[in-house]
Amino acid sequence: MSSLDLLFGTQSSAAKGGDIRKVTLVGAGPGDPGLLTRKGFDALQSADVVFFDELVSPEIIDLLQPQTRCIYVGKPCGSAAMSQSDIIEQLIRAARAGLRVVRLKGGDPMVFGRSGEEIEALRAASIEVDVVPGITSASGAASSTRISLTHRDYAAHVSFVTAARREGELADIRGLAGKGRTLVVYMGIARARALSEALQADGVDAALPIAIVENATRPDERVIITTVRELPNTVARQNVRSPALFIVGDVVRTYVPADASAASDARA
Ligand SMILES: C[S@@+](CC[C@H](N)C(=O)[O-])C[C@H]1O[C@@H](n2cnc3c(N)ncnc32)[C@H](O)[C@@H]1O
Residue in 55, 77, 161 to alter for ligand 1 test, most ligand atoms within 8 A of Cβ: 55
Q: Are 97 and 124 in contact (CB under 8 A)?
A: no
Return mean pLDDT, the chain.
90
Give pLDDT tens digits for 196-233.
999 999 999 999 999 999 999 999 999 999 999 999 99
191 C-alpha to ligand 1 centroid (Å)? 15
Give pLDDT tens digits for 79-105.
556 888 999 999 999 999 999 999 999
Q: How far is CA 153 from CA 3, 180, 181, in A?
A: 56, 8, 11
Q: Are 255 and 179 in contact (CB under 8 A)?
A: no
- Looking at residue 176, its pLDDT comes to 97
List residues near ligand 1 (CB under 6 A).
30-31, 55, 105-108, 111-113, 136-137, 141, 186-187, 213, 215-218, 242-245
- Looking at residue 62, its pLDDT comes to 94
Query: Please, which residues bridge with residue 248 across strands?
Result: 183, 210
Confidence band (pLDDT; 50, 70, 90) for 108?
very high
259 carries an active-site annotation: no
SS3 assignment, position 268: coil
Confidence band (pLDDT; 50, 70, 90) for 268?
very low
What the chain holds in terms of domains, given with CATH numbers, is 3-132 (3.40.1010.10), 137-254 (3.30.950.10)
92: left (phi over 0), alpha (psi -120 to 50) or beta: alpha
- Looking at residue 258, its pLDDT comes to 82
pLDDT at residue 68 greater than cutoff 90: yes
Q: Which residue is catalytic, options 53, 108, 250, 265?
A: 53
**d(Cα 199, Cα 246) in Å, to the nearest integer?**
13
105 carries an active-site annotation: no
Q: Are 264 and 224 in contact (CB under 8 A)?
A: yes
SS3 assignment, position 177: coil
Q: What is the CA radius of gyration of the chain?
A: 20
* Mean pLDDT value across residues 53-73: 94
Q: How many residues does the chain have?
A: 268
- Looking at residue 195, its pLDDT comes to 96
- Shortest CA distance to 117 belongs to which of 88, 91, 95? 88
- Shortest CA distance to 92 belongs to which of 60, 51, 133, 64? 51
